[in-house]
Each structure stands twice: as structure tokens, then as C-alpha cells.
Amino acid sequence: MLISYFDEVKPNPQGQPYYWLGGLMLRDDVIQDIESELNQLAHRCFGSYELTQSTEFHATDICSGNRNFRRWRDPARRLEVLKELARIIDKPDGVFRVAVRLDVARIDASVDYEAMAFMYLVERVNQFARGRKTSSILIGDLEHGGVVERSVRSLAEYRQSGTLYAFGQSIGNVVDTVHFAQSHHSRLLQLADTYMWFKQLFHRTDEPAGIKIELMRFLRQDTDITWEHKYKYWPPAE
């Protein structure tokens, strides 16, 4: 079985024009080992194995040296944490990547692009699980609580009647409901957050600066995580 953890990145006018939704589809037999690696990294960073807000990994905070990393004045030290998280994401088997990117400026204002992104995410996870002759459940970040009821309702409808639009798909491999948890209670949600932050980094319209330059070089040259196992970019490039 696959356990799929997902998170979002919202558009903002400072160089991030897209709405992103996606994360990691993990084979259930690798989850314990990955959690152990993340817990060991947390202990090295924070001196604790506890799951609290003060021991949480957020890629944007690691990069900028804010919140839990505000005392980490050496950017090279923070860069090594991001690299270590990337290496965990870049496992050769058992960790699979899924991403949906919507160019909101090119989508009609009447369209609920967050609901559209969730539909595309369900389709891609379902396709991947079907291709591996297995099933998956979805686990999202409760921080985005406004989407909880709508996501649960939408998935139930998709499983019953298929997804929307002319090329709607039947959903038989995403099972149960959509589950949500606080990100500081799940190292794997934190890892999904990191992956989506990496994804948006390569699609920004502003120029990278600081440790982002070396991080992007590392991700391109030393990992495979710049590509996804399943993706949907909409609308297509002009």
C-alpha cells in the first residue's frame, strides 16, 4: 500500500506565480525507516526526538534562517540540512513524487483552482497506485483546514462517480477518506512540505540568491528529485 502525504504552496507576487499541490507517495514498508532518519536529523538539529512546533522542519524557514532556525547564523549549516532532507526524498525505491502546478493567471477567475488541483492530485495518485497494483490513502496538512470538508466530500464523489470534465477518470485505487494532521505531528508531512518547496524553487520568476543557488545546483546534479513520478501542469505551456 502507498501512503501519500501532500501539501500546498500558494502563489504570491514575490516571484511565485503558481499554485502547487503535491507531495510524496510512500510505500508502507519504508515509512518506519524514513521516520527514523528524519528523527535522527531532528535530534542533531534540535537535540530532541519530540514532535513539536519547535522541532519542526519547514524548508522556507531552514533556507531563510527563521523560526526554528533563527539561531543558525551559518548558511552553510542550514544548507546541509536541506541537502539531507533532499537525500531522504531521493530514495531509489519506496519514495515517489507527485506534483500539480496550476498557472492561476491563465485560469478563469470563476474556477476554483484549489479544488481543481485536488482533483488532479487524486487522479495522479490513483493512476500511480493502479499502475503498481496497489492502493493509497491521502494525508494532508491540517494547517490548511479550510479545505478539509471540501476535500473529504470531493474524494467521496470522485470514488462514487469519477472525476470531472470531459476526460474524467474513475477512482478505485485511492481508498478511505482524506486524512489530515498537524504538520508538527508528522515528520512525513514535513518531508512533503520540503519537496513541494523544492518544486516551486525551480519554477520561480525571480532570481535565486544566497544558499538557494548552491541548493538548486545540488538538486540538479546530485539528485533526481527535479522530476516527478506523476504530475499535472495546467494549463499547458504556450
Average confidence (pLDDT) over 95-123: 96
Nearest to 6 by CA among 161, 143, 108, 206: 143
74 phi, psi to nearest 5 deg: -85, 110
Average confidence (pLDDT) over 38-48: 97
Average confidence (pLDDT) over 191-205: 98
Domains in the chain, number: 1
Is residue 238 domain-resident? no
Q: 7, 98 in Cβ contact below 8 A?
A: no
Average confidence (pLDDT) over 167-189: 95
> Given this model, what pLDDT does residue 189 score?
98
Domain assignment of residue 42, given as a range: 2-231
> Given this model, what pLDDT does residue 237 score?
82
Does residue 126 surpass a pLDDT of 80?
yes
> Given this model, what pLDDT does residue 144 score?
59
Is residue 237 domain-resident? no
CATH number at residue 180: 3.30.420.10
The string of pLDDT tens digits covering residues 65-86 is 999 999 999 999 999 999 999 9
Does residue 236 surpass a pLDDT of 60?
yes
Is residue 236 domain-resident? no
3-class SS of residue 233: strand
Is residue 209 domain-resident? yes
> Given this model, what pLDDT does residue 143 score?
76
Mean pLDDT taken over the chain: 95
Is residue 60 domain-resident? yes
Does residue 221 surpass a pLDDT of 70?
yes
234 phi, psi to nearest 5 deg: -140, 140
User: Do the strands 174-181 and 230-234 form a parallel or antiparallel pair, or are they unpaired?
Assistant: unpaired
208 phi, psi to nearest 5 deg: -70, 150
Q: Give residue for cell 464523489.
A: 157
